[in-house]
Amino acid sequence: MKTLTLNNGNTIPQFGLGTWKSKPGEVKNAVKYALSIGYKHIDCAAIYGNETEVGEALKESFADNVVQREDIFITSKLWNNRHKKDDVVLGLKQTLKDLELDYLDLYLIHWPVAFKPEVIFPEDASGVLSLSEVPLIETWQGMEQAVNQGLVKNIGVSNFSIKKIDNIISNCSIKPAMNQVECHPYLQQDELLASCQQNDIVLTAYSPLGSKDRPDSLKQKNEPTLLENEVIKNIAEKYQVTTAQILIKWAIERGTVVIPKSVSPERIKQNFEAQNINLDTEDMEQIKTLNRNYRYVDGSFFAIPNSCYTVESIWG
């Protein structure tokens, strides 16, 4: 499996298994199966509500000698209610306990949005903390403490704009190694990708297949279906593969990490095999024309009325 080198010399497998929306009853088998066929990278987060089951899958896979801990790469993410400096390590320790691990390979600030410690998801503005009350650089200092305590090897961010990353870079001791953002042919993120590459930050593409299993409350009416795009379909036909496989290989070809989610063994295998496809320059050129800056995960769920967060402030 291809790897990319992070800014501290560590490497990350370019292909991994996403676990957002994987239900607790399904995710354990998905992770075990993925590891058994060669996946080396599992992307997790506390807010996905399934880290305990991922932990069981890891523990059993280690016990059965399917993989060794040092041969795989595990990412998780700090939830919005753990942004205060001294809460970061607490959040990470809970994740380590759930995943039954001693250390993570990568820990990310999940969103540039802060909530009060006792609030998982605010019902109204009283549950949020502004970025003046808990600046992102304070949260970042907590992330640096986690590295210094040996709890995580690499740290980064998720859903961060160029401006927010620049602010961290100007004020940090340890530079962010990663920005994980939504990225696919409808949201190609050219400017953000170029800026990350200039700063030696790797970009991970989430929702690479268009996340069609999002809850209806997170969907817009008439949203475009990436997996049924005609251009992608034609390229898939040319190589006798599926549209999902073309989307995955496109992300790898662009030098990003990609983490398609699946809980179906057949699709987990199919997605893994996408790494073997060879896209040519013409395919890449055709896919380039599909960009429409379309976000499936548009952040509107954090635009809590009368709070300091708006869709513009989240992405800006």
| Active site members | 48
Q: If binding is defined by CB under 6 A, does position 208 make contact with ligand A2P?
A: yes
Please report whether residue 47 would count as binding ligand A2P according to CB under 6 A.
no
User: Quick one: tokens of 160?
Assistant: 């961060």
Angstrom distance (rounded) from CA 213 to CA 22: 10
- Residue 225 carries which DSSP code? -
3-5 and 11-13 strand pairing? antiparallel
**25 φ/ψ angles, rounded to the nearest 5 degrees:** -70, -15
Tell the smallest beta-carbon distance from residue 13 to ligand A2P (Å).
16
Residue with tokens 């990353």: 165
The overall longest dimension of the chain from CA atoms, in Å, is: 54
- Does residue 267 bind ligand A2P (CB under 6 A)? yes
| Residue 17 binds ligand A2P (CB under 6 A) | no
Enumerate residues 6+ apart whose C-beta is below 8 A from 192.
Answer: 161, 162, 179, 181, 203
Q: Residue 32: phi, psi to the nearest 5?
A: -60, -45
User: Is the separation of the CB atoms in 193 and 203 below 8 Å?
Assistant: yes
Angle between helices 24-36 and 265-273 (to 10 degrees): 40
Q: Footprint of ligand A2P on residues 271-310 (CB under 6 A)?
A: 271
Choose the binding region for ligand A2P from 2-10, 57-65, 131-139, 261-269 (rule: CB under 6 A): 261-269
Minimum CB separation from ligand A2P for residue 89, in Å? Answer: 29
- Cβ contact 153:106 at 8 Å: yes
Interacting residue with ligand A2P among 263, 277, 287, 314 (CB under 6 A) = 263
- By CB under 6 A, is residue 23 in contact with ligand A2P? no
Contact stretch for ligand A2P (CB under 6 A) within 96-104, 139-147, 229-237, 254-262: 254-262
User: Quick one: DSSP state of residue 144?
Assistant: H
Instruction: Please tell me whether residue 19 binds ligand A2P under the rule CB under 6 A.
Output: no
By beta-carbon proximity to ligand A2P, the closer residue of 274 and 304 is 274
Among 45, 260, 277, 314, binds ligand A2P (CB under 6 A): 260
Instruction: Point out which span in 114-122, 123-131, 188-196, 258-266 binds ligand A2P (CB under 6 A).
Output: 258-266
Asked whether position 242 contacts ligand A2P by CB under 6 A, the answer is yes
Q: Which of 13, 16, 210, 299 binds ligand A2P (CB under 6 A)?
A: 210
Using the contact rule CB under 6 A, the part of the chain among 78-86, 128-136, 230-238, 259-267 near ligand A2P is 259-267
Q: Is residue 244 involved in binding ligand A2P (CB under 6 A)?
A: yes
Alpha carbon distance 226, 36 (integer Å)? 29
Nearest to 189 by CA among 263, 273, 257: 257
Would you tell me which residues interact with ligand A2P (CB under 6 A)? 18, 207-213, 227, 242, 244, 260-264, 267, 270-271
